[in-house]
């Protein structure tokens, strides 16, 4: 076994690998970019090497720098994690040439599966079932369009070098094919420097079921059952579970054996995943093989009781797999959710910013949390915006989903938008819990999954107001002589009952809450729905214990200064969160900020303009696409917020823009 390894990755996966290495007594070396100088994975490792600038292509994607770091620190092996260089055959070879073990499959196996089209050719030969499609070398738009027609619409265009749903387009009809092809090729070129695509039949209501395989250098090759990863947005996984709902043992065996056949066909070693797309009736087709550890491997670990990173290390060091096929069994049910910094209401747009407040679920016998960030860290535009993976293991699927829904309700994040509410809604959705599982689930159930923007209730206004009052009281205690009458903030006013007024804005509604102070510490709050008696106390862990009317509850309230200088208060209570803006009557800037926002479309995150669809003087209607911004390796189409006339377009195609930059101005 190795005594020191280098982890050529960042974030949660780097932390996760370090954890197993530490348990096995193996020393770890982290690598980091400028942006990650203070990252969690750097703090966790025994040593760390700086490898370059923040952009991945200048750091985590530079093979030479990583190999150099391994040599300098005496690491005997490199764990690539997932993404970055994990499926780069050239990197695996370079490691070998430098005398360093690459913890992954042989370069030839990576190469064989590296291109979705090549992989399909190999699988066709090995008689593994394929989705009908075209995966040839002729890439002329005319031929691809003709093939699409032959396959029959709808079709799916996929980047051959693809991954993470990038460079993928569903095309409903022939007239939309050319545009979609251009978009897919553009995205593929940007993300993978390779615009080769394939076209295949687009299955409606399919399930994504994948098999975890493992092979060692001594002829062993087995499968660790399946994962269902059908719940997706933008063709990217959001929830993964094991075992797959409604899987019968005969089909499990058939899929497992097909996956093992696929792995054997390419002389596989280490951890790999064979992905299948399955029809509702269970018929399955090979999609691709990922020659690395997957993001969702923890659900397999949970139901099998195995540590797959440990298996990887054992196998990479030349050892035999710890167990044989017959010794593997499925225990209970596991589900994983990916908590992303993104805004589901804005088409899952990634959200960047500092995690001012972060409360993830606590780990216990049922709960595992894999994360690469801590409170105070920043989600940057440079890397994947995943905050954490939360994994629940329980006796059955219903129990696991129930537990997960509760955990998502208790998760608190301030500083970036997250999908926590959507994850909660999914795990408690009767159809999903009842076993309706396919890749179109989120789109189909949009109406019930996406919380409608309801006005804030009295509880939220009361809690935020109480937080504000507690803040006043606490600053008074810190800042001054507690005995001075000038510091006594019980709002004593001559000839008047003592009261404070706190004003909030909730969307376009302004609400003033009057708090009247009684002598015994009680308060009476005038709320939109009527007056209520209230009391409040700070708990030892910094939350607020609130009594309101007849009810008592504990809430977290986080105050944060927004980009425009104003203050937002986020209230977490009852498994929900609500953000209110403090209205400061003396501050005029906040009114200006909202007024100008309506006459311009701004960059929601830093990125590059890759397509402009309008010019000055154009008349546009609400929802009409204005431009395409490439950010975080994805294309984001920005649309007109209302009908209007374009006054000016501030940037040209190819230009880099910062977050908040005014892109298109309206008259
Ligand atoms: P990537 O490597 O970018 O993740 P995949 O080939 O694994 O791309 O596909 C990602 C997802 O896209 C799948 O999980 C599935 O939801 C959807 N998908 C892929 N192929 C098809 C298809 N032929 N029909 C319908 N959906 C598909």
Q: What is the pLDDT at residue 629?
A: 87
* Average per-residue pLDDT for the chain: 92
Q: Which residue, of 201, 226, 257, is where some domain finishes?
A: 201
Same domain? 431 vs 398: yes
Rounded to an integer, the average pLDDT of 72-76 is 98
Same domain? 66 vs 83: yes
- Helices 116-125, 107-114: axis angle to 10 degrees equals 100
What would the pLDDT profile of 448-497 be if each residue is shown by its tens digit?
Answer: 999 777 899 999 999 999 999 998 888 776 555 545 444 555 554 444 45
- Rounded to the nearest angstrom, the distance between the alpha carbon of 232 and the centre of ligand 1 is 10
Identify whether the C-beta of residue 361 lies closer than 8 Å to the C-beta of residue 407.
yes
Same domain? 366 vs 436: yes
Same domain? 164 vs 302: no
**Alpha helices of 411-527 — where are they, by DSSP H?**
420-427, 430-433, 441-444, 446-449, 458-479
For residue 113, give the nearest of 273, 326, 249 by alpha carbon.
273
Mutate to test the pocket of ligand 1, among 119, 231, 239, 277 (most ligand atoms within 8 A of CB): 277
Residue nearest to atom 23 of ligand 1 (CA): 202
Q: And the tokens for 277?
A: 């797309």
Q: What is the pLDDT at residue 473?
A: 82
CATH no. for residue 640? 2.40.50.100
**Is 124 part of a structural domain of the chain?**
no
Distance of CA 197 to the CA centre of its chain: 26
**Is 113 part of a structural domain of the chain?**
no
Determine the straight-line distance between the first and last CA of the chain, rounded to whole angstroms.
Answer: 68
Q: What is the DSSP letter of 130?
A: B
Residue with tokens 């990576």: 110
Q: How confident is the model at residue 600 (pLDDT cuts 50, 70, 90)?
A: confident
Mutate to test the pocket of ligand 1, among 210, 235, 635 (most ligand atoms within 8 A of CB): 235
- Rounded to the nearest angstrom, the distance between the alpha carbon of 235 and the centre of ligand 1 is 6
pLDDT at 360 over 80: yes
**Is 28 part of a structural domain of the chain?**
yes
Identify whether the C-beta of residue 246 lies closer than 8 Å to the C-beta of residue 348.
no
Same domain? 308 vs 405: yes
CATH no. for residue 503? 3.30.700.40
Identify whether the C-beta of residue 359 lies closer than 8 Å to the C-beta of residue 412.
yes
- Rounded to the nearest angstrom, the distance between the alpha carbon of 491 and the centre of ligand 1 is 62
Which one is predicted more confidently, 499 or 528? 528
Rounded to an integer, the average pLDDT of 602-610 is 84
Q: What CA–CA distance (Å, rounded) separates 416 from 191?
A: 24
pLDDT at 596 over 50: no
pLDDT at 590 over 80: no
Identify whether the C-beta of residue 6 lies closer than 8 Å to the C-beta of residue 78.
yes
**Dihedral over Cα of 269, 273, 275, 281: its sign:** positive
- Rounded to the nearest angstrom, the distance between the alpha carbon of 105 and the centre of ligand 1 is 23
CATH no. for residue 182? 3.30.1490.20
- Rounded to the nearest angstrom, the distance between the alpha carbon of 208 and the centre of ligand 1 is 8
**Is 395 part of a structural domain of the chain?**
yes
For residue 439, which atom of ligand 1 is closest to its CA?
16
- Rounded to the nearest angstrom, the distance between the alpha carbon of 222 and the centre of ligand 1 is 24
Q: What is the pLDDT at residue 586?
A: 62
Q: What is the DSSP letter of 456?
A: P
Is 535 in the active site?
no
Mutate to test the pocket of ligand 1, among 208, 289, 291 (most ligand atoms within 8 A of CB): 208
Same domain? 437 vs 565: no
- Rounded to the nearest angstrom, the distance between the alpha carbon of 447 and the centre of ligand 1 is 24
Residue nearest to atom 12 of ligand 1 (CA): 235
pLDDT at 593 over 60: no
For residue 232, which atom of ligand 1 is closest to its CA?
16
pLDDT at 589 over 80: no
For residue 290, which atom of ligand 1 is closest to its CA?
2
Q: How confident is the model at residue 604 (pLDDT cuts 50, 70, 90)?
A: confident
Q: And the tokens for 498?
A: 């003592």
Distance of CA 556 to the CA centre of its chain: 24
pLDDT at 368 over 90: yes
For residue 133, which atom of ligand 1 is closest to its CA?
23
Rounded to an integer, the average pLDDT of 386-398 is 98
484, burial (CB in 10 Å: exposed 0-12, middle 13-18, buried 19+): exposed
pLDDT at 252 over 50: yes
For residue 167, which atom of ligand 1 is closest to its CA?
3
Q: What percent of the chain has pLDDT over 90?
A: 77
Cis peptide before 636 (omega within 30 of 0): no
CATH no. for residue 87? 3.40.50.20
Residue nearest to atom 1 of ligand 1 (CA): 163
CATH no. for residue 298? 3.30.470.20
**Is 127 part of a structural domain of the chain?**
no
Same domain? 575 vs 608: no
For residue 168, which atom of ligand 1 is closest to its CA?
3
Give Cβ neighbours of residue 508 (< 8 Å, ≥ 6 apart): none
Q: What CA–CA distance (Å, rounded) separates 467 from 444?
A: 39
Rounded to an integer, the average pLDDT of 174-194 is 92
Residue nearest to atom 6 of ligand 1 (CA): 287
Distance of CA 175 to the CA centre of its chain: 33
Same domain? 503 vs 617: no
Same domain? 237 vs 304: yes
For residue 350, give the nearest of 606, 42, 620, 39 by alpha carbon.
606
Structural domain count, the chain: 5
Q: What is the pLDDT at residue 495?
A: 42
For residue 165, which atom of ligand 1 is closest to its CA?
3
Which member of 292, 368, 403, 459 is catalytic?
292
**Is 628 part of a structural domain of the chain?**
yes
Q: What is the pLDDT at residue 479?
A: 59
Q: What CA–CA distance (Å, rounded) separates 446 from 431?
A: 13
**Is 110 part of a structural domain of the chain?**
no
Identify whether the C-beta of residue 487 lies closer than 8 Å to the C-beta of residue 561.
no
Mutate to test the pocket of ligand 1, among 167, 168, 203 (most ligand atoms within 8 A of CB): 168
Q: What is the pLDDT at residue 304?
A: 98
Q: What is the pLDDT at residue 591?
A: 43
pLDDT at 215 over 90: yes
For residue 208, which atom of ligand 1 is closest to its CA?
14
Domain of residue 66, residue span: 4-103
Query: How many CA atoms are closer than 13 Å to the CA of 632, on its beta-carbon side?
Result: 21
The DSSP-derived string for 371-385 is ES--TT-EE-TTS--
Q: What CA–CA distance (Å, rounded) separates 543 from 540?
A: 7
- Rounded to the nearest angstrom, the distance between the alpha carbon of 633 and the centre of ligand 1 is 18
Same domain? 645 vs 581: no
Mutate to test the pocket of ligand 1, among 129, 439, 441 (most ligand atoms within 8 A of CB): 439
**Is 29 part of a structural domain of the chain?**
yes
Q: How confident is the model at residue 633 (pLDDT cuts 50, 70, 90)?
A: low
Q: Which residue, of 589, 618, 653, is where some domain finishes?
A: 589
Rounded to an integer, the average pLDDT of 498-520 is 89
Quick one: residue 49, left, alpha or beta (phi over 0 = left, psi -120 to 50 = alpha)?
A: beta
- Rounded to the nearest angstrom, the distance between the alpha carbon of 161 and the centre of ligand 1 is 13
- Rounded to the nearest angstrom, the distance between the alpha carbon of 409 and the centre of ligand 1 is 30
Same domain? 578 vs 615: no
Q: What CA–CA distance (Å, rounded) separates 70 from 76?
A: 7
Ligand 1 neighbours by CB, cut-off 6 Å: 131, 156, 158, 162-166, 168, 200-203, 206, 208, 232, 235, 275, 277, 287-288, 439
Classified as helix, coil or strand, 166 is: coil
Same domain? 497 vs 573: yes
**Dihedral over Cα of 390, 391, 397, 402: its sign:** negative
Q: What CA–CA distance (Å, rounded) separates 404 from 402?
A: 5
Classified as helix, coil or strand, 16 is: helix
């Amino acid at each position: 076994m190795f005594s020191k390894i280098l982890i050529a990755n960042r974030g949660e996966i780097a932390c996760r690998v370090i954890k197993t290495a530490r348990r096995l007594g193996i020393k770890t070396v982290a690598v980091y970019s400028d942006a990650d100088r203070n990252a969690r994975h750097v703090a966790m490792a025994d040593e760390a090497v700086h490898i370059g600038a923040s952009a991945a292509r200048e750091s985590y994607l530079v093979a030479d720098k990583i190999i150099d770091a391994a040599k300098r620190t005496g690491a005997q092996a490199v764990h690539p994690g997932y993404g970055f260089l994990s499926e780069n055959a050239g990197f695996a070879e370079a490691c070998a040439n430098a005398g360093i073990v690459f913890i992954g499959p042989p370069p030839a196996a990576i190469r064989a599966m590296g291109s979705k089209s090549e992989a399909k050719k190999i699988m066709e030969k090995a008689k593994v079932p394929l989705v009908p499609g075209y995966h040839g070398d002729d890439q002329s738009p005319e031929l691809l369009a003709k093939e699409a027609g032959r396959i029959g619409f709808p079709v799916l265009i996929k980047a051959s070098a693809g991954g993470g749903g990038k460079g993928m387009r569903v095309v409903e009809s022939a007239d939309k094919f050319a545009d979609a092809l251009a978009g897919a090729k553009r995205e593929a070129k940007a993300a993978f420097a390779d615009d080769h695509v394939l076209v295949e039949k687009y299955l409606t209501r399919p399930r994504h079921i994948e098999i975890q395989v493992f092979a060692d250098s001594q002829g062993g090759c087995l499968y660790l059952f399946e994962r269902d990863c059908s719940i997706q947005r933008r063709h990217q996984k959001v929830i993964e579970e094991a075992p797959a709902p409604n899987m019968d043992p005969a089909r499990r065996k058939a899929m497992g054996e097909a996956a093992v056949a696929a792995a054997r066909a390419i002389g596989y070693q280490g951890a790999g995943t064979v992905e299948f797309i399955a029809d509702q009736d269970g018929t399955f087709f090979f999609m691709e093989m990922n020659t690395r550890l997957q993001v969702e491997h923890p659900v397999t670990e949970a139901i099998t009781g195995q540590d797959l990173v440990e298996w990887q290390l054992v196998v990479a060091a030349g050892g035999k797999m710890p167990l044989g096929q017959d010794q593997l069994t499925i225990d209970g049910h596991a589900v994983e959710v990916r908590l992303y910094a993104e805004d589901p209401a804005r088409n899952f747009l990634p959200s960047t910013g500092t995690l001012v407040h972060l409360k993830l679920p606590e780990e216990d016998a049922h709960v595992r949390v894999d994360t690469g960030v801590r409170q105070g860290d920043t989600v940057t535009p440079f890397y994947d915006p995943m905050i954490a993976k939360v994994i629940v293991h329980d006796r059955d699927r219903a129990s696991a989903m129930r537990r997960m829904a509760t955990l998502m309700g208790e998760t608190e994040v301030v500083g970036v938008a997250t999908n926590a509410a959507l994850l909660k809604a999914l795990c408690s959705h009767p159809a999903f819990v009842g076993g309706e599982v396919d890749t179109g689930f989120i789109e189909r159930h949009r109406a019930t999954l996406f919380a409608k923007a309801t006005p804030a209730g009295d509880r939220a206004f009361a809690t935020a107001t109480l937080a504000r009052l507690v803040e006043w009281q606490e600053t008074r205690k810190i800042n001054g002589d507690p005995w001075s009458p000038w510091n006594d903030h019980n709002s004593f006013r001559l000839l008047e009952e003592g009261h404070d007024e706190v004003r909030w804005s909730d969307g376009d509604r302004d609400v003033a809450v009057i708090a009247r102070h009684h002598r015994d510490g009680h308060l009476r709050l005038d709320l939109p729905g009527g007056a209520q008696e209230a009391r409040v106390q700070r708990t030892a862990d910094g939350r607020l214990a609130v009594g309101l009317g007849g009810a008592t509850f504990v809430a977290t309230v986080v105050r944060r200064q927004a980009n425009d200088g104003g203050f937002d208060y986020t209230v977490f209570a009852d498994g929900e969160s609500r953000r209110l803006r403090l209205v400061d009557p003396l501050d005029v800037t906040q009114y200006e900020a909202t007024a100008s926002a309506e006459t311009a479309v701004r960059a929601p995150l830093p990125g590059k303009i890759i397509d402009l669809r309008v010019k000055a003087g154009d008349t546009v209607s609400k929802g009409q696409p204005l431009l395409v911004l490439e950010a975080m390796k994805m294309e984001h189409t920005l649309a007109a917020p209302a009908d209007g006339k374009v006054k000016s377009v501030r940037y040209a195609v190819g230009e880099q823009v910062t977050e908040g930059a005014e892109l298109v101005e309206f008259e």
